[in-house]
Amino acid sequence: MLNNVLRRVPTWTIYIAGSLPAVWMAYQTLTGKIGIDPVRAIEWGLGLWALRLLIATLCVTPLRWVGINLLRFRRQLGLLAFAYVVLHFAAWLTIDMGLRWGQILSDLVKRWYIVVGMAALVLLLPLAATSNNASIRALGPKAWNRLHKLAYPATILATIHFMMVGKVYTAEVLTYAGILCVLLAWRVARFGLRGRLWS
């Protein structure tokens, strides 16, 4: 029943819905309602949506195991997550660092959470570049699937980055880390013993 409804939802609606937080943040910025520290609010908002969408993308497979088929929307969720990561990174480079390359480099070596965030971004690059039908055909489904397992280490690094930024483990941080642990444990429970975790 639910899957019949989902089958009728056009995939482009995910792009529209997923863009709304960015549009809302842009509106709040332009109207001066984003808060007393706009730079931080923009950076945090974009980072949080990147993480939420990464985790949502990883939920697609386990949800299928329990009969909810969102596979048609996985590409849109992944690409939206990547777009928010790129915007988050661009916000740091421009409105935070002001494109001062000396400061950017010193921040990169001084702050470990930036290095961890960069590593997550780098892991996501090949995934975004191959999220199209031509790449699936060129790589073959097996190699493509193996490459896209990089979404797991990328999300683990992104969550560690989030935990390092705050320094204190708030309920919010622990919620994201907890969801990720459940997703990983579920996967290990299903595939780990059969040795198919990464294949």
Q: Give, for 69, the enclosing helix (H) or strand (E).
A: none
Strands (DSSP E) along the chain, which ranges? none
Side chain identity at residue 54, one-letter code: L
When binding is defined by CB under 6 A, the residue of 87, 161, 163, 187 that contacts ligand HEM is 161
Q: How far is the CB of 177 from ligand HEM (least distance, A)?
A: 11
Q: Which is nearer to ligand HEM, 89 or 152 (CB)?
A: 89
Do residues 50 and 91 touch, judged by C-beta distance below 8 A? no
Count Cβ atoms within 10 A of the Cβ of residue 159 and give its class: 0-12 exposed, 13-18 middle, 19 or more buried. buried
Span near ligand HEM by CB under 6 A; candidates 19-27, 30-38, 61-69, 116-124:
116-124
**Signed CA dihedral, 70, 154, 190, 142: sign only:** positive
Report d(CA 133, CA 18) in Å as an integer.
Answer: 21
Please, which residue, 12 or 101, has the CB nearer to ligand HEM? 101
Query: x/- binding map, residues 17-36, to ligand HEM, per CB under 6 A?
Result: --------------------
Position 166 contacts ligand HEM (CB under 6 A): yes
Residue 5 C-beta: closest distance to ligand HEM, Å: 30
Whether 42 and 95 have beta carbons less than 8 Å apart is answered as yes
Output the smallest distance, CB 82 to ligand HEM, in A. 8
77: closest CA among 148, 161, 156? 148
**Shorter beta-carbon distance to ligand HEM: residue 40 or 149:** 40
- Judged by CB under 6 A, the chain residues 36 through 95 that form the site for ligand HEM are 40, 43-44, 47-48, 50-51, 54, 85, 88-89, 92
Question: In the block, which residue shows the tokens 């090949």?
Answer: 126
Q: How many Å apart are CA 120 and CA 159, to the nearest integer?
A: 9
Q: Which is nearer to ligand HEM, 135 or 175 (CB)?
A: 175
Question: Residues in the site for ligand HEM, rule: CB under 6 A?
Answer: 40, 43-44, 47-48, 50-51, 54, 85, 88-89, 92, 114, 117-118, 120-121, 158, 161-162, 165-166
